[in-house]
Chains A and B, each alone.
Chain A
Amino acid sequence: MVPERRRPPEASSKSSCSMMSESPRNRKPDLPFAPFDSTNLWCGDRHGRSFLEFSPPLVTQSSGLFGPDRETKSKKQHEPSPVDDPVMDWNPRLMLSNLSFLEQKIHQVQDIVRSIISHEDQFLDQANELAAQQQLVTADLTYIIIQLISTAGTLLPDIKNALLSTNPAVGRPGSNQKQHEILPVEVAKASQYDSLVKDLNSCGGNEDELIKCSNNSGVDASEPIPIEDHDTKDNDDGMDGENLPPGSYEVLQLEEEEILAPHTHFCLICGKGFKRDANLRMHMRGHGDEYKSPAALAKPSKEASIEPQPLRRYSCPFVGCKRNKEHKKFQPLKTILCVKNHYKRSHCDKSYTCSRCRTKKFSIIADLKTHEKHCGRDKWICSCGTTFSRKDKLFGHVALFQGHAPAIPMDDAKVLVTSDKAQVSEASSGMPGNMGYNFSGNTSLDAQSPDIKGVDDGHGCFSPMTLDACNIWGLAEFPHSAYEVSESTFSFLATGSCSSIQRNGEN
């Protein structure tokens, strides 16, 4: 395994997100398989009705928002594509209600902006007020963006799979290849998702911070106990038990792009990438008889390993990480696979959500699969949403964190939800119609009660709470477990300043 071999020739691209997505292929438009670009999807004539009614207000709001919006729309067009994916059973009704809510939301922002315009003269005198209004608009827009992403987020795998099955060029090497493709494609999905968020970050100057913090709550907070995660996972990242003196080995540090590259072996003729060297050699046979000789098919590493190689260990490129060579207590990683797994687990977004519990997130698909084997058996739930298969683990977790408490099992929670609903709807009718300022409302709430914070963290910004709070309460088909719904009930009540019932939902 020589580093040069692993490095794809296209990896020189600076932007990691573009590298992770399809740009390498774009550079070779003459290659046998079609470039995989979502732009041609945008240009397609299958503009959904919802898109038409949706985009104009956005355009009027901010041109910077158009990009992400278009992207999500393009994905929505593919919703009806006949993809039979049992895992991603998204709910069109839910999506519709989400969208109509967004529409409302946008109208609200429009109103605000209009009022700003109409009162422009007054604001000239009162700069403070104008700034406040501006902030309000910013917050609202950020909220809309995030909601939009969350709405579209559920669709991302769909579009990928749809492309796989509909685009013959991708599936060209045969049905066998298609299966090989699935994994990298899903990785790409995650990266595209990232790029979406990153694009958002850069789209509006003063919005940056807001988005970042919302991202934090959404993505990072999805792992409420990162410490624990690392502790358990790093075990198989290698090096535990190995106690090499520093200097007795050669330290190699791969760059982020290399680590995150879906493929490490590339065909020199057609550019197709592979995860394994053996797969590449199998592929090469198709390019001519010269690749079919036993010598060409033999494992090349054997001869290479005859020479005595210095002991090689790897460093994580993330500065500050314990696995980074700059760290005081540096602990090297044993193999490249360890590097990959470590980097993804510790420093990447967890974009694979378990379709069953919808709470656990992973950055490595194998982890997700391992989890899915056990998911559903976790009957021990913490108020923060973390689930455990064993009671003592839950209690250990509860003991560790301030304000966390075990949740009462689900069947009871359902009862609670139904009974609380009546109260909630009563309360909500008394609320002002304009629910636009959830952002600030929720954050101030967090500050008040640490208890509640844990709960919110579990959801992140994609939680239904923000939607719930806006009178879309009839949404029984929200894609969340009964348990989560009960939490949202609670968070809603809290915003409604029904402090007396605040804790009910938490139960």
Chain B
Amino acid sequence: MKRAHQQHRHQPFDSILAALSVDLLIQILERVDDPRDRKAWRLVCRDFLRAEALHRRALRVLRLEALPGLLRRYAACLDLLDLSACPGLGDHALATALFAGAGSWLLKSVSLSRASGVGWRGLAALAAACPRLESVDLSHCVGVGDREAAALAAAEGLRMLRLDKCLRVTDVGLAKLAVGCPALENLSIKWCLEISDIGIELLAKKCRDLRVLDISYLKITNSSVKSISSLGKLEVLSMVGCSNIDDEGLQFLDNGSNSLRSIDVSRCDNVTASGLTSVIEGHICLQKLNVGDCFPELAPLFLSKLNGLKDSLTVLILDGFQVSASSLKIIGVNCKNLSEIGLSKCKWVTDEGISELAAGCVNLMSIDLTCCRMLTDKALMAIGEQNKKLVCLRLESCSLITDKGLEHIGTGCPNLEEIDLTDCPITDTAMKYLSRCWELMILKLGLCDKISSEGLVHIASNCQNLRELDLYRCIEVTDDGLAAIATGCSKLQKLNLCYCIQITDRGMKHLSCLEDLRDLELRGLHHVTSLGVTSIAIGCRRLTELDLKRCNLVDNVGLCALAQYTGNLRQINISYCPVSSMGLCKLLGTLKCLQDVKLVHLTHVPVEHLELALRAYGGQLKKLKLFIGLRDLLSPWLIQMLHARRCRIRWVDKPLVFSP
């Protein structure tokens, strides 16, 4: 890209289009995958920018103020618009932005997840402006209710809709959607607690094409399952935590239609093995079965019925069961094609059982053994030897495993992408073994207090794709380790350094070259000063979440740097930091994207100034954490205003204690 840039500078008057037509430019652009390279491309010249605009299909808006301009540029070709990072987006702003496209919208998918400012007027404008709308995500917009659902129901072609945690949607809203959008295929109404059997019944009658349905945590009964069972095309059914549904309800699903591919009945307290047996019998093509935390014991009948799903079943989640070695053996024999198994918090899981399972299911790609405390290196050896395709392994709190076991994993599972070793007694040697897994993306080493910088050097030497690294309370880690990580794992996006008390500003300086870093936790780092935070702020421009709680040396200078450079910051925790009024006002006055702010025990900020700072904030605050003592000191008007702007205040009742 850089070369192209220079070329353009040398011949400023000749359009690049003379040499390369737009078509060709777009074809080149298709081969540019990395978003950073794309950004460089956009900066080359106007023609490149135009070509990119023609090529772009998806757009995620990070800052609200940029929305109108972005839409003006990209309106014509966009398929997907993601507004989930714009909680301040209101009806008017959305409607205005949509009218900028002047009716030429081809948008198919819009994500408004957590964009809680959008109401029914905005949604009505959206439905009217985008006739091809197929997919809308409104999850976690807690204010969305029937009126919003009704506005959305105007989008007749809607095929996918997520309404997770839209707390005010009732049966009426669901009915509006069911009538208005008969083509719905994928619907999630998880946590919409107002919806009852009646709404589900109507949904099942009106939306006959439903393939994916999530009704988790609803207070629905067996009659809902009966109506759902009439959906001939249903493939994926999630009903997590529906405690009113029991075996009788599950028996309705056994109605001869074989469409169901995946069923999730985890945390349904009243479901037992007999109900599940009927589901298995009815759907011989079932691929995914999640029965976690339903009932404690695996019945032999259930296990033997798994034989019926021999070829199809690929995912089996058995969290919280009592799974003996013999059960695992039966699973290993019956489910040859299993690619994922969840045994989190299962009792009686032994090395023997895992060996049997690993021997039976050689295609396993994901194994969750969280809190299977009886496991030793033998189990890891079996996995390493049998499951060569392993991608994800979770061993949190398996306190008997050692470095030796991980040697087998490191050698046997070259495709490993994710491993969770939280609270395992491993040392740097284990890191050396794991560094062979060069595709590793997620590495969790929280509470592994024997891991030092040496181990990180091993990881950094080979795992260039690492995205997420958790070093929570790895007290041996020093700045050198961070230097290695910063150079070796340049794609790191999420880093947890909480209570790695040896880290200083030098380490921060190293980290500042991680351009992709989005989530950084620096809790309790006593040696990190504002200088370190400043270098982070300057280097990591994409930072969206930052935790500086109890960083006793971070003061106004650090906050000012954050205010100046990290415009995308969405969450910040500066509790217990010795910041003063100026820094806080600067921070809240400048940053526009902040959604979640924790300001507990800011001893250097007087109440009046805190109030001033909060009033100065111009964006849309969603969560605010304050000391409970301030509740009576802050003016009620301010609190009222914050509530009116849909900000939730959490009052913390902890006394001020200076921890070491």
Contact = CB atoms under 8 A, between A and B. Distances in A.
A504 B179 contact: no
Given A399-B202, A399-B205, A408-B147, A500 B128 contact: yes
A391 B150 CA distance: 17
A409 B154 CA distance: 18
A391 B198 contact: yes
B76 interface: no
Contacts of A406: 171-172, 175-176
Contact of A398 (B120, B128, B154, B179): B179
A408 B128 contact: no
B179 A408 contact: no
A227 B153 CA distance: 28
A503 B154 contact: yes
Nearest to A506: B150
Contacts of B176: 405-406, 408, 507
B237 to A, nearest CB: 21
A243 B179 CA distance: 41
Contacts of A412: 146-147
- With a 10 A CB-CB cut-off, give which of B125, B176, B199 has the most chain A CB atoms: B176
A501 interface: yes
Nearest to A498: B128
Interface in B187-225: 198-199, 201-202, 205-206
B180 interface: yes
B355 to A, nearest CB: 54
Contact of A395 (B125, B127, B128, B198): B198
Nearest to B124: A504
Given A406-B176, A503-B153, A507-B147, A391 B171 contact: yes
Interface in A215-257: none
Nearest to B172: A406
Interface string A401-415: 001111111001000
A405 B147 contact: no
Interface string A390-432: 0110010011000111111100100000000000000000000
B146 A408 contact: yes
B128 A405 contact: no
Contact of A405 (B127, B129, B179, B205): B179
Nearest to B205: A399
A77 B198 CA distance: 52
B486 interface: no
A504 B180 CA distance: 12
Contacts, number: 59
A398 B150 contact: no
B554 interface: no
B206 A399 contact: yes
A412 B206 CA distance: 25
B112 to A, nearest CB: 19
- Which of A395, A500, A501 has the most chain B CB atoms closer than 10 A to its own CB? A395
Given A391-B198, A392-B198, A504-B124, A398 B151 contact: no
Nearest to B154: A503
A48 to B, nearest CB: 45
Interface string A41-55: 000000000000000
Interface in B135-174: 146-147, 150-151, 153-154, 171-172
Contacts of B205: 399
A501 B120 CA distance: 12
B175 A503 contact: no
B202 A408 contact: no
A398 B202 contact: yes
Nearest to B174: A406
A503 B129 CA distance: 13
Interface in B22-61: none
Interface in A368-405: 391-392, 395, 398-399, 403-405
Interface size band for B: 20 to 34
Contacts of A392: 198
Given A391-B171, A405-B175, A405-B176, A503 B124 contact: yes
A216 to B, nearest CB: 26
A395 to B, nearest CB: 5
Given A395-B202, A399-B205, A501-B124, A408 B150 contact: yes
B145 to A, nearest CB: 9
User: Which interface residue of A392, A404, A408 has the most chain B CB atoms within 10 A?
Assistant: A408
A502 B127 CA distance: 11
Given A399-B206, A405-B153, A405-B179, A501 B128 contact: yes
Contacts of B202: 395, 398-399
Contacts of A405: 150, 153, 175-176, 179-180
A448 to B, nearest CB: 13
A506 B175 CA distance: 14
A395 B175 contact: yes
B154 A408 contact: no
Contacts of A500: 125, 128-129
Nearest to A500: B128
Contacts of A499: 128
Contacts of B124: 501, 503-504
A473 B171 CA distance: 33
Contacts of B206: 399
Contacts of A408: 146-147, 150, 172, 176
Contacts of B127: 503
A254 to B, nearest CB: 43
Nearest to B128: A500
A395 B180 contact: no
A453 to B, nearest CB: 14
B577 to A, nearest CB: 45
Given A408-B172, A501-B124, A501-B128, A395 B147 contact: no
A391 B153 CA distance: 20
A131 B205 CA distance: 48
B150 A395 contact: no
Nearest to B173: A408
A398 B146 contact: no
A378 to B, nearest CB: 14
Contact of B179 (A391, A403, A409, A501): A403
Select the residue from B125, B127, B146 with max chain A CB neighbours within 10 A: B146
Contacts of B150: 405, 408, 503, 506-507
Nearest to B177: A405
Interface string B473-495: 00000000000000000000000
A399 B172 CA distance: 12
A398 B207 CA distance: 13
A8 to B, nearest CB: 51
Contacts of B146: 408, 412
B199 A395 contact: yes
Nearest to B175: A406
Nearest to A391: B198
Output the residue of B124, B198, B205 with the most chain A CB within 10 A: B198
A404 B175 CA distance: 10
B136 to A, nearest CB: 16
**Taking each of B124, B171, B172, B180, which has the highest tally of chain A beta carbons within 10 Å of its own beta carbon?**
B172
Interface in B478-532: none
Contacts of A391: 171, 198
A405 B172 CA distance: 8
Nearest to A419: B121
Contacts of A506: 150
A412 B124 CA distance: 16
A395 B201 CA distance: 9
Interface in B359-414: none
Given A403-B179, A504-B124, A507-B120, 4 more contacts: A405-B150, A405-B176, A501-B124, A503-B154
8 contacts: A399-B202, A403-B179, A405-B153, A405-B175, A405-B179, A408-B172, A409-B172, A503-B154
Complex A-B, nearest 8 residue pairs according to Cβ-Cβ distance, in ascending order = A500-B128, A405-B179, A503-B154, A507-B150, A406-B172, A399-B205, A406-B175, A395-B198
Interface of B: 120, 124-125, 127-129, 146-147, 150-151, 153-154, 171-172, 175-176, 179-180, 198-199, 201-202, 205-206
